[in-house]
Amino acid sequence: MRSIISFYEPGQFVTHPDCPDWGIGQVQSVVGHRVTINFENQGKVLVNTELVDLVVME
């Protein structure tokens, strides 16, 4: 089971490991495990980080 603490924060750039065609996304908001991301090729998507490990761009 994952921690309740989120490692994501608004402004971070991420990619979705299962949907690389979405491109790079910027985290818009974080509420618990719910992260809203604006992807360059997909638009805004709500991701449950209990189910998906987003890849943070360095």
Q: From first to last of the 58 residues of the chain, give the pLDDT tens digit.
A: 444 556 899 999 999 999 999 999 999 999 999 999 999 999 999 999 999 999 999 8
- Compute the distance between CA of residue 44 and CA of residue 36 in angstroms, rounded to an integer: 7
pTM, two decimal places: 0.87
Contact yes or no for 38/12 (Cβ under 8 A):
no
The CA distance from 35 to 52, in Å, is 10
Tell me the β-bridge partners of 44: 38
Looking at residue 2, its pLDDT comes to 45
> What pLDDT is recorded for position 5?
54
The pLDDT of residue 41 is 98
| Residue 31 neighbours by CB distance under 10 Å | 9
**What is residue 6's predicted lDDT score, i.e. its pLDDT?**
67
Please state, in angstroms and rounded to a whole number, the distance separating the CA atoms of residues 10 and 21. Answer: 22
Looking at residue 1, its pLDDT comes to 41
